Structure 1
Amino acid sequence: MLHLRVVCSAHHTDAVLALLRADLGIAHLVVTREVAVQPPGDVVEAAVARESAEHVLDQLTDLGVARTGEISLTGIDTLESETAEAVERAAPGDAADAVIWEELVTTTGEESRLNGVFLAFLVLSCLLAAVGVLADSAITLVGAMVVSPDFGPLAALAVAAVGKRRSLAGSAGLALGVGYPVAILVTVLGAALARLVGLFDPTELDHLGRAAFVYHVGPYSVIISLLAGAAGMLALTSDKSGALIGVFISVTTVPAAGFAALAAVAGHWTQCGEAFLQLAVNLSGITLAAVLTLFLRREHVLPRAH
């Protein structure tokens, strides 16, 4: 269940109450009149089944509530109510299949903005990946994958493609287009410094063990990226965010970027090119699979036309 809060002008209140009363997914409808100060008006609250939320938002938007007031939805962590359970059972559809489009757009939009925090995480993950390669440490490489924030912009690109959101595509493209070059450049500088002080011997790249997968491109690179992209988008659109950790540690994006930086400093240009190809294959595969997953789930994902 979700908590719905509507702040609206008094002339909208009766219409809001009528449409909420008519929806099978609404429980515990409450109205408090003349409490809103700026703008003046009433506050309507209710518990709404997740599978009904998108339809309710559409109707409230059609009323024009958002133009002069507020419509907000927040998760309810704990709710003890037999009436709410009955409402969930009566609501059409399944909560696991329910997707709130604006929530999806907001989530991916927030995760795809180019800012200092995004750059810091991407730089740190790239540096971790480089250290993982030099130490031949699979654990460190996994840590770099988990720290990396790059799935957010990739998911945003998929949402933008399916939902035709140009601004979202632009912000996601900017985050990736600036973020990765900055992260790789910082890693190149770090690797050059490590070589200068004797911590990095270029010949180490010729004898990699468990870390060699980060630049070896093959059929499994494509398969893994496609499966990870599908799993990641399915997790985002089914409220199963815990599954995203598995996505983060299954793709070779940041590890490939970290290795490319090391190979560039070592002058191993063939390996550097293979690493960049690995990065491109994974980024493209994830995005393509995410787009296809959204298209397959479009009846649950795309908002209806107004």
Structure 2
Amino acid sequence: MLHLRVVSPSERSSEVLRILVADPGATHVTLARGAAVDPPGDVIEADLARGSVNTAVSALSALDLARTGSISFAPTGIMLSSAGQRADAAAPRPPDQAVVWEQLLEQSREGARFTPTFLAFLTIAILLSAVGVTTASPLTLVGAMVVGPEFRPLAALSVGLVRRDARLVRASARTLAISFPVAMAITVLATLLWVRLGWIGVGNVESAHAFDFIYQVGPFSLVVALLAGVAGMLAVVTSASAVLVGVFISVTTVPAAGLAAVAAFAGKWHAALSSLAQLGVNLIGIVVAGVAVLLLLQFADRRDGVLPRKR
């Protein structure tokens, strides 16, 4: 369940209470009159079944509370309550099938942002990939896949396309378009340093058949990307974060970027271009799969009348 907290102007509180009390998926409704100082008003709280959040937030948003007060919600954690169990059972969607669209949009906006931290993680991941390729270390490649943060802007791009949020699409695309080239350029410079120090050799990167899967594009390149995109998006909308680790390991976005950087430095242009093609197939496949999943979920919510109005 999610805990809802509303700051409402006093003259709107009766309408807020009416909406929440009438919702079978809402329980533990409380009212603290005059408790809010800035903005002034009443504080109303409730626990909502995930399957009821979309309709409740949509109805509350129609009262203009986002401007005159606030609407916030967060996971409740462990709850021991018979009323809570009844609310979950009465909701139009089971908890593991409910998409909280406002929550998904906010997470996507955060994931789409280009930040120094995101660039640092992606650079570290691609550097690890370069080390894994040049030292023939599959474990290092797996570590690079786990460290890579690229799924967040890819998921945000899918959400932006489905919700027709041009700002979100632009932010996600900009983050990907800036971060990958910068991280790969840093990897080329690091490879130059490592070669000069005699730590690695790059002469056989194209003939390392153990890593053919990184740069040889085939039908399963797209299949794996699509499957990973489906699993990743389902994990995001259901908050199943443990599944995302498997998604990171299954796709070759970061390893392909690392190999492309090393191969370009070594002058192995066939391997570099093939790696970039592999990177492109994976990125596109993940986004296409994410869009398909969200369209199906959106269709189901529209059919059942639980999709909130588009902001």
Give the TM-score range, shorter chain. Answer: over 0.9
| Structure 1 residue 124 corresponds to structure 2 residue 124 | yes
Q: CA deviation at 1:209?
A: 4.3
The residue that corresponds to 1:274 in the other structure is: 274
Q: CA deviation digits over 1:121-164, x for unaligned, max 9? A: 01000000101111211111111111111111111111111100
Counterparts of residues 98-137 of structure 1 (less than 5 Å): 98-137=98-137
- 1:17-49 CA-partner distances (Å, limit 9, x unpaired): 111110001111100001111111100011111
Residues of 2 paired with 1:68 and 1:224: CA distance? 47
- The code of the aligned residue for 1:235 comes to A
Unaligned runs of 5+ in 2: none
Output one character per residue of 1:221-249: Cα deviation in whole Å (capped at 9) or x when no partner: 11100111111111112232221111111
Distance (Å, rounded) in 2 between the aligned partners of 1:162 and 1:122: 26
Q: Secondary structure at the match of 1:122?
A: helix
Contact 1:294-1:301 at 8 Å conserved across structures: no
In 2, Cα distance between the equivalents of 1:57 and 1:237?
Answer: 17
1:150 and 2:150 aligned = yes
- In structure 2, relative to structure 1, the CA distance for the partners of 1:89 and 1:140 (3 Å cut) is same
SS in 2 for 1:239: coil
Match of 2:61 in 1: 61
Residues 88-109 of structure 1, C-alpha deviation per residue, up to 9 Å, x if partnerless?
Answer: 1122221111111111111122
Matched, 1:205 2:205: yes
What TM-score comes out, normalization by structure 1 length? Answer: 0.97
Q: Does 1:36 align with 2:36?
A: yes
Shift of 1:77: 1.2
Structure 1 segments, 4+ long, off by >6 Å, are none
- Does structure 1 retain, via aligned residues, the 8 Å contact 2:134–2:202? no
Instruction: Name the residue aligned to 1:288.
Output: 288
What residue identity is the alignment partner of 2:230? Answer: A
Distance 1:52 1:299 in 2: 17
1:173-214 CA deviation, whole Å, 9 max, x = no partner?
111000000000000001111111222322231441432321
Gaps of 5+ in 1: none
- Aligned CA RMSD, in angstroms, stands at 1.3
Which amino acid is 2:12 matched to? H
The residue that corresponds to 1:24 in the other structure is: 24
Range 196-205 or range 131-140, more displaced = 196-205
2:226 maps to: 226
* Amino acid aligned to 2:62: D
